[in-house]
Amino acid sequence: MDTIEKLRILSEDSRYDMACACGSNNNDRRKRGLDGKWLYPVALPNGGYSILLKTLLSNSCSSDCKYCPIRSDADILRCTLKPEETANLFMDYVKKKKVFGLFLSSGIINNPDYTMDRINAVSRLLRYKHRYKGYIHLKIIPGTSDAAIEDSVSLASAVSLNIETPGKERFDLLSSKKDYINDIIRPIKLIGRLTSKDGKFSRVKPTTQFIVGASNETDSEIIKYMFGLYKKLNFRRVYFSAYQKGLGHHTIPGEQKTGFTPEQIFMREHRLYQVDYLIRKYGFSGGDIILDKSGNLELNKDPKEIWADHHPEFYPVRINMADKVSLLKVPGLGHVTVEMILKTRIRGKITRFEDLGLKGKRLENVKKYAIIE
């Protein structure tokens, strides 16, 4: 198998890991290149988006995660790229200006440290042999030693280790070979320390991902862990990947008991992204996220709108008088529109909702919770 054929297979298998980008908006959605590889957008430091080459180093894996399509007993075509192959291939794409950066992950080859050594070898070749100073996102393999993790963080622009589930009880339903505390929580805490504001590698962006709908977990459990990842461990982004039935070629607990249809699972993923945005961008706290009796988010309504409906004393918000925090509590108003409102008010009074550039359902939604007077 030549290098390009291996890349086609490994890039295809990498699509299940969303920890660099996924569909929270149109700019985040992955695209398939003409040669079959998956290309992922990444936000640039100065604004705008460019493209990441995303691939596995190997789809061989010694682990047994029930949700994973490349789990050890899956009947798939296996292959592995050598570090030199991967580095040379990526630099060829860079020279042709096809990609902005690299997202590199892998199945577990032999053991976590052996795999991490090969992933780090690719990054070291790029940094020191090819003098590449651009974007590299490295996946930290569960169970990797502290020394290998620090080596990865020192070489990368961003790192990720997928937490997968909220808690050991949920995780144990999905894997018999990984230890949640030692293989997942220990390295996540170390990454958090290394990349904190006071850490040795504060420039590096750490992210993680939950598999949604695989282990009977509730949204309340995920949200609790999400707050911990942001507030205590200094993670920059939490991603969510809706489990798609049959991908792991194995019946899993979430398929049997949750009762969610495939469409509902994807809507659940979408609602969790909305909650994530409210936490990161709107200053919502844990008590601001309203759940149903089962501990899950309502699927038929935006969580920001649900908060508004539970706090009638806060409304209507006066467009011409309210501060930024109050304006952001209005369903239908986002940061861009609120900034425009604040700038427009400096020049004079706003007289019509239509002057805010709002249309359709969004305009009607804002009118329910705000007034112009």
In this structure, the answer to whether residues 61 and 173 fall within a common structural domain is: yes
The shares of helix, strand and coil residues in the chain, as percent rounded to the nearest 5, are 45, 15, 45
Does residue 37 belong to any structural domain of this protein? yes
In this structure, the answer to whether residues 190 and 326 fall within a common structural domain is: no
Does residue 287 belong to any structural domain of this protein? no
The answer to whether residue 132 scores a pLDDT higher than 60 is yes
Specify the pLDDT at position 98: 80
Specify the pLDDT at position 17: 60
Decide which of 255, 279, 296 is a domain's last residue. 255
Residues spanned by the domain of 120: 3-255
How far is the C-alpha of 137 from the C-alpha of 289, rounded, in Å? 31
In this structure, the answer to whether residues 78 and 225 fall within a common structural domain is: yes
In this structure, the answer to whether residues 143 and 231 fall within a common structural domain is: yes
Does residue 126 belong to any structural domain of this protein? yes
Cα separation values, 227 from 76, 185, 232, 283, Å = 37, 15, 8, 12
Cα separation values, 131 from 91, 117, 126, 344, Å = 10, 19, 6, 47
Q: What is the CATH number of the domain that holds 354?
A: 1.10.150
Does residue 267 belong to any structural domain of this protein? no
In this structure, the answer to whether residues 120 and 196 fall within a common structural domain is: yes
In this structure, the answer to whether residues 194 and 331 fall within a common structural domain is: no
Q: What is the CATH number of the domain that holds 219?
A: 3.20.20.70
How far is the C-alpha of 142 from the C-alpha of 147, rounded, in Å? 13
What is the mean predicted confidence (pLDDT) over 198-216? 92
In this structure, the answer to whether residues 10 and 89 fall within a common structural domain is: yes
The answer to whether residue 70 scores a pLDDT higher than 60 is yes
Task: Map residue 101 onto helix, strand or coil.
Answer: strand
In this structure, the answer to whether residues 194 and 336 fall within a common structural domain is: no
What is the mean predicted confidence (pLDDT) over 2-23? 67
Decide which of 236, 255, 274 is a domain's last residue. 255
What percent of the chain clears pLDDT 70, i.e. is strictly above it? Answer: 86
The answer to whether residue 39 scores a pLDDT higher than 60 is no
What's the full length of the chain, in residues? 373
In this structure, the answer to whether residues 38 and 106 fall within a common structural domain is: yes
DSSP 107-156: ---SSHHHHHHHHHHHHHIIIIIS---SEEEEEPPTT--HHHHHHHHHH-
Specify the pLDDT at position 19: 45
Specify the pLDDT at position 44: 43
- Number of domains, the chain: 2
In this structure, the answer to whether residues 123 and 224 fall within a common structural domain is: yes
The pLDDT confidence band at residue 21, using thresholds 50, 70 and 90, is very low
The pLDDT confidence band at residue 74, using thresholds 50, 70 and 90, is confident
The answer to whether residue 82 scores a pLDDT higher than 50 is yes
In this structure, the answer to whether residues 126 and 248 fall within a common structural domain is: yes
How far is the C-alpha of 41 from the C-alpha of 100, rounded, in Å? 9
Does residue 318 belong to any structural domain of this protein? yes
Q: Dump pLDDT digits (tens) for 233-266.
A: 999 999 998 886 655 545 565 554 556 677 788 8
Q: Dump pLDDT digits (tens) for 321-368.
A: 999 999 999 999 999 999 999 999 999 999 988 888 888 888 999 999
Does residue 122 belong to any structural domain of this protein? yes
Q: Dump pLDDT digits (tens) for 110-131.
A: 999 999 999 999 999 999 999 9
Q: Which of 73, 22, 66 is nearest to 255 (CA)?
A: 66
Does residue 288 belong to any structural domain of this protein? no
Specify the pLDDT at position 34: 42
Cα separation values, 154 from 56, 201, 226, Å = 20, 7, 25
In this structure, the answer to whether residues 77 and 225 fall within a common structural domain is: yes
Query: Average pLDDT, whole number, for the chain?
Result: 85
The pLDDT confidence band at residue 15, using thresholds 50, 70 and 90, is low
The pLDDT confidence band at residue 286, using thresholds 50, 70 and 90, is confident
DSSP H or E segment with residue 211: strand 205-212
Does residue 270 belong to any structural domain of this protein? no
What is the mean predicted confidence (pLDDT) over 151-160? 97
